[in-house]
Amino acid sequence: MSTYVEARDVAAAVAAMADGARPVAGGTDLVVGARHGKAPLPESIVGIHRIPGLDGISVADGVVRIGALTSHAAILSSPELASATAGLLDASAIVGSHATRANGTLGGNVMNASPAMDTGAPLLCHDASVVLTGPGGTRRVGLAELWTGPGKTSASPDELMEAVELPLPPEGAGSAYVRLQYRRQMEIAVVGAAAYVEVSDGAVSAARVAITALTPVICRVPGSEEALVGRRLGSNDSVSGENPAVWTQTTEIGDAIHAAGQAAAAAATPISDVRASAGYRTAMAAVVTRRAVTAALTRATGGSVTVPASDWSER
């Protein structure tokens, strides 16, 4: 006998979850997954979609906080996020369709823990953590510790995710997310990659790279990061970022971008399915990684990369 209650605050949601209810926010994963026959709908469900205060974006004390119920559409129209976490916008802009984006939430995307989720890689690159509240209180968990397998998290079933938090990036930082897409909308990432870079004094001072749909959980690629850190961007002409193509030539940074791509391909352990063969996915891992890094560097150096970077990189 299935049941449903709607929670009006966090405490009520946590109480229902402690009683065995699964939270539903936008339902675009939970309900659609059941329709696909992936997993039947849980018998007991608690609606969290109207809990006040669980949505919204704020920046304070060097921390960007995005409420769990923030929709992809809201992420897209946030000027704060546009400058701080462009890579997240790249992801939210291509989630499903306009309806998916209007209803799908960041909390649902992250907690669903799909290896193909689009916001995962950029959030990981932004060193994000989630704020989890359970009967025992509130804790913060980094994404790398949160995701434990396809569809699995280390959150306990009675922990509600309240928000995603990430450090406000410094000047000279840039991020981007690029996925391989057969159609421009209504896709599932065949493969994807995100990059976050900080550029100072004409060189890459920090780099984080993560890959999507290439490993059982979205993960960072240390080899790609090492390939980038310390590399000089080259002459002033190319640092302008207006013409990132020069970076793919045999410049120092061009080599580094290429190496970052190779490292991502080496880290990939993809599957073959009806969407792509493992061999193609591996080759594409290098391509999307190069493109994500290029877009992130372009943004970090003041160049313009339109959202979503996936479309931009096809131009």
Partner 1 sequence: MSIDITLTVNGVSHPLAVDPHASLLHTVRDQVGLTGSKEGCDDSECGACMMLIDGRPVNACSYLAVQADGAEVTTVEGLADGNDLTPLQRAFLEKGGVQCGFCTPGMLISATALLRDHPRPTEDQIRIALSGNLCRCTGYDGIVAAVAAAAEQG
Partner 2 sequence: MTVTEERPTAEQQGTFIRPDGKEKVTGLGRYTADVNLTGQAHAAFRFADHPHARITRIDTSAARAIPGVYAVVTHEDVPENLYGGMVQDRLLFAKDTVRWEGDVVAGVAARTQAIAREAAAAIVVEYDVLPALPDFVANAQPGAPLVHPEWTAYDADDDLSREGNVVGHSTILKGDVDAAMETADVVVTSRFVADASQGAPIEPRAILAQWTGDRVTVWTSTQVPFAARDGVAHTLGIPQSHVRVIVPLLGGGFGSKCDFHFEAHVAALAEAAGRPVKLVFSRREEFLAPDHRREGMVLEFETGATKDGHLVARRATLHLDKGAYTGEGGFFAQMAAMHACGPYELDNVAVRAMLTYSTNQPSSSIRAPTAPQTCWALEQHMDQVAAAVGLDPVELRRRTLIRQGSHGPTGQVFDEIGMLDTLEAAVEMIGYGQELPDDEAIGVACGWWPSMASPSGAYVKLNGDGTGTIVTGAQECGTGAVMALPILAAEQLGMRPDDFSILYQDTDAGPWDMGASGSQTTFNNGRAVVAAAQEVRAQLLQMAAEKLEIDPADLELVDGTVRAVGAPSTSVTIAELAGTGTPLLGKGSGDLPENPPTDIPSACVGRLGLDSFLAPQLITHAARVKVDRETGVVRVLAFAAAHDSGVIVNKIGADGQVYGGVMMGIGQALSEATYFDEEGRQRNPGLLDYKLQTASDGPRIDVRWIEVDTPNAGPKGSKGVGEPPSVPTSGAVGNAIAQVVGRHVTQLPMTAERVWTTIQDVQEEAK
Ligand X SMILES: Cc1cc2nc3c(=O)[nH]c(=O)nc-3n(C[C@H](O)[C@H](O)[C@H](O)COP(=O)(O)OP(=O)(O)OC[C@H]3O[C@@H](n4cnc5c(N)ncnc54)[C@H](O)[C@@H]3O)c2cc1C
Q: Is 107 in the site for ligand X (CB under 6 A)?
A: yes
Q: Is 63 in the site for partner 2 (CB under 8 A)?
A: no
The stretch among 82-90, 101-109, 253-261, 294-302 that binds ligand X (CB under 6 A) is 101-109
Q: Is 284 in the site for partner 2 (CB under 8 A)?
A: yes
Residue (181 or 282) nearer to partner 1, CB: 181
CB of 314 to ligand X, least distance (A): 16
Instruction: List Cβ neighbours of 147 (8 Å cut-off, separation of 6 or more).
Output: 113, 120, 153, 154, 217, 218
Q: Is 304 in the site for partner 1 (CB under 8 A)?
A: no
User: According to CB under 6 A, which one of 161, 180, 218, 253 is a site residue for ligand X?
Assistant: 161
Residue (10 or 24) nearer to partner 1, CB: 24
Q: Is 262 in the site for partner 2 (CB under 8 A)?
A: no
- Chain residues 178-237 in contact with ligand X, contact rule CB under 6 A: 187-188
Residue (37 or 137) nearer to partner 1, CB: 37
Q: Which residue is nearest to ligand X (CB)?
A: 108
The one of partner 2, partner 1, ligand X, none whose footprint includes residue 246, by CB under 5 to 8 A per kind, is: none
How far is it, in rounded angstroms, from Cα 124 to Cα 91?
12
Residue (180 or 305) nearer to partner 2, CB: 180
Bridge partner residues of 23 (DSSP): 46
Reported for 239-248, long-range contacts at CB under 8 A and 24+ positions apart, including other chains, are 239/202, 239/301, 240/301, 240/302, 240/303, 241/297, 241/298, 241/299, 241/300, 241/301, 241/302, 241/303, 241/304, 242/303, 242/304, 244/294, 244/295, 244/297, 244/298, 244/303, 247/294, 247/297, 248/290, 248/294
3-class DSSP assignment, residue 69: coil
Q: By the criterion CB under 8 A, which residues form the site for partner 1? A: 1-4, 6, 24, 27-28, 31-32, 35-36, 41, 45, 47, 49, 96-100, 102-103, 183-186
Give the footprint of ligand X on this chain (CB under 6 A).
Answer: 22-30, 32, 48, 68, 94-96, 100, 103-105, 107-109, 111-112, 117-118, 160-161, 187-188
